[in-house]
Chain A
């Protein structure tokens, strides 16, 4: 297992390096921040001068090597827009993203998995149909629409919840729901399918024949076996929640890294974008490695081999 973990981490490093390089090249090929920084009446010489001062007039491979050299010393560089270390900027935003992702995950798992269980065990009932409708809604309403609808209903009309910002805990409710809705649907569908799949197996029939109720069978035996595909989804969803909050964070003025990513890309603040890319790819890789390890714990039949 140790071997396996080490191997996965090496693969992960290669993947992250690849992503960094691709993003670096694309960002640099599509222009540099100088044009966006200068006042509009700047002359060509002024722009060239500032570009030179900021070092964007050097060949791209020189900038790349320079960047890598910094990375080896854990120097992630300075933001050209804010003139503070890029790492500090991202680090200051990260807690908000984690907070929001946690809230969304609570909505997704807390509602999604019980719904999946109910839909699988009470097939054909009215409650299944109602839940199915909710799941489809969560999956098909685009977040920018649901977010604005939530603000309009609960913020402006009913005045129950604050319309934007992250200054109080209550402000987390609407963005968590808006962001968690899609994941919630995924969890509900996946757990429903996984449970239905398990319910057809022999050990369930044996359990029922021994006199266990359906509920007992599901909670004692089925859930554990059905959890493998759900864990896989959870690993992917955590990555999505951390990286995919761009729209939600913008609409709710939630100061996480999704919003920061958009602003930094628009202003061509290369080094901030690089830190975010590094972070997100790291999270993706880490969660998928963790999921692999959790499999073994949950289901002893799975062995990790080289």
Chain B
């Protein structure tokens, strides 16, 4: 009898202990589709790498929850003239190796990423910067090649690395053993498997919310969901809309972020049947955006009138979108003499097949003949970005520049000469060029409204919907997803 009681008592104790651990769980586990490619923040910037290393490093500037650009490492900034801007740097920031962060490190970080020798794929985001110079230990002067209003939005993405450490260990070792000034330092990187971060206790913004953070690589979405449900993961990314309803349970919840990302349709204005503007307009009238959102996204999206969503600078409601009007579409197809004309719809497995087929169906119904050509992503990009003649008639895409500025969307997509543009309109080019080269916000906004007006007439592309990012989370995890899809662990916490 006695040993039995003792056994039960110890079992009860063990159970209590395990629930106690669960309540004060110090490790946050996040399932991502892939592991980090590089931890050097100046190299790869695919979503998974970006998600992890931004927790190790600080940025010069950041965005608040409302999307406004606010100070981070820089406390204030002033334009000396249209191409020169000086940043004041915080004096109380230390790197995880104990050294102090100074203007030297900021200037080094900027000059490092624009140095062609680093072969950084991110160079194109910073190539408007001519140079960065140290004025004094807390002041940096950045010069751009021409007036460049998107500079601040781009600098939100620039991680500050420690000059002395990088120079000491070299680029290769820095990638494997990164040191930053962010809330978390790298503890253990099992390449291809998981990345473990550890709280940096002297972080200048206060104590990080979790002792440890583990980012696991789990490629299959069903497995990520299984991990969440069994408590193996506390947060998972990329929940497909059709699985969203399975996420809500006693221990898990669905988090939704209204992002700056837009689902859009590209239409080839330089070759094939879509060269005729009436055909492009017909396609615009043929698509039931609300229907797509309701049926395929389970309502997790919002129809849009332009190629851009509310969180971006330059978004406008003044430009009217195309209503769903299949009859008008059929008339336009007839008027263009394009009945039965074959339009090639390029796609790859990276894009939702059901959506592509639904659009095909809608466009076929107004008298065109859409054929889907699916290839792998590299081949898709090669065709989509190549010659207009070979770039298909249409393609679906989901665009975000993570800069919340129209310049990052409609400039690369439609400005003639850009790899994505299969469209040329001098008036449009002049508008977006001008908007890129002035700093006056009111004037810029007006230019983008005009540019969107031109795009509405010419339809080289069609905005379909604003993408909602879906995350699955443990019930007691508190976090509000942001418009730029960043995952800052510093903004998360356990609910008490």
Chain A residues within 8 Å of B, Cβ to Cβ: 30-33, 35-44, 46-47, 49-50, 53-54, 81-84, 89, 92-93, 148, 151-152, 155-156, 159, 162-166, 250-253, 255, 259-260, 263, 266, 268
Contact = CB atoms under 8 A, between A and B. Distances in A.
Given A35-B378, A151-B223, A253-B217, 9 more contacts: A30-B376, A33-B378, A40-B401, A40-B420, A50-B119, A82-B38, A164-B226, A165-B218, A255-B193
Given A83-B43, A83-B175, A36 B378 contact: yes
5 contacts: A35-B382, A89-B191, A164-B216, A252-B223, A259-B192
- Top 7 closest A-B pairs, CB basis? A42-B124, A31-B378, A253-B218, A41-B412, A163-B226, A46-B124, A37-B121
A37 B242 CA distance: 30
Contact of B219 (A44, A89, A155, A259): A259
Contacts of B122: 39
A253 B216 contact: yes
A166 B192 contact: no
A189 B191 CA distance: 39
Interface stretch (B93-101, B227-235, B335-343, B480-488): B227-235
Contacts of B378: 30-33, 35-36, 266, 268
Interface residues of B, number: 51
Given A44-B419, A255-B217, A50 B123 contact: yes
A41 B125 contact: yes
Most buried by B among A31, A40, A155: A40
Interface in B223-264: 223, 226-227, 229-230, 232
A266 B34 CA distance: 12
B12 interface: no
B226 A38 contact: no
Given A81-B44, A92-B191, A253-B216, A38 B230 contact: no
B301 interface: no
B127 A46 contact: yes
A252 B44 CA distance: 26
Contact of A41 (B37, B226, B382, B411): B411
Contact of B172 (A32, A54, A84): A84
Given A255-B193, A266-B376, A39 B220 contact: no
B232 A162 contact: yes
A156 B229 contact: yes
A105 to B, nearest CB: 23
B69 to A, nearest CB: 18
Contacts of B217: 253, 255
B124 A43 contact: yes
B223 A35 contact: no
Interface in B121-180: 121-125, 127, 172, 175-176
B319 interface: no
A259 B232 CA distance: 21
Given A30-B378, A251-B220, A255-B192, A35 B385 contact: yes
A135 B297 CA distance: 41
B232 A165 contact: yes
Given A36-B378, A41-B408, A253-B216, A82 B37 contact: yes
Interface of B: 34, 37-38, 40, 43-45, 116, 119, 121-125, 127, 172, 175-176, 190-194, 216-220, 222-223, 226-227, 229-230, 232, 376-379, 381-382, 385, 399, 401, 408, 411-412, 417-420
A250 B192 CA distance: 12
A280 B461 CA distance: 45
B216 A165 contact: yes
Given A36-B381, A156-B230, A43 B418 contact: yes
A148 B226 CA distance: 9
Contacts of B227: 163-164
Contacts of B399: 40
A268 B172 CA distance: 21
B175 A40 contact: no
A16 to B, nearest CB: 25
Given A49-B116, A89-B192, A39 B45 contact: yes
Contacts of A152: 226
| Residue of B45, B127, B190, B378 with highest tally of chain A CB at under 10 A | B378
B86 to A, nearest CB: 26
Nearest to A85: B172
A40 B190 CA distance: 29
A54 B119 contact: yes
A263 B230 contact: no
B451 to A, nearest CB: 16
Contacts of A156: 226, 229-230
Nearest to B157: A39
Contacts of B417: 43-44
A39 B200 CA distance: 30
Contacts of B40: 83
Contacts of A148: 222
Nearest to A164: B223
B377 A266 contact: yes
A32 B381 CA distance: 10
Nearest to B378: A31
Nearest to A259: B219
Contacts of B381: 31, 35-36
Nearest to A251: B220
Given A35-B382, A41-B401, A251-B222, A166 B193 contact: yes
Given A31-B381, A33-B378, A40-B399, A155 B175 contact: no
Nearest to B384: A35
Nearest to A42: B124
B121 A50 contact: yes
A111 to B, nearest CB: 25
A60 to B, nearest CB: 15
A107 B142 CA distance: 63
Contact of A46 (B123, B193, B226, B232): B123
A263 B34 contact: yes
A81 B192 CA distance: 12
B485 to A, nearest CB: 14
A192 B13 CA distance: 53
Given A83-B38, A164-B232, A253-B220, A31 B401 contact: no
A9 B33 CA distance: 40
Nearest to A148: B222
Q: With a 10 A CB-CB cut-off, give which of B193, B401, B411 has the most chain A CB atoms.
A: B193
B222 A151 contact: yes
Given A44-B419, A81-B37, A38 B223 contact: no
Contacts of B191: 82, 84, 89, 92
Contacts of B123: 46, 49-50
A43 B217 CA distance: 31
A89 B193 CA distance: 12
Nearest to B122: A39
A251 B377 contact: no
Nearest to A79: B37
Contacts of A39: 45, 121-122, 124-125, 401
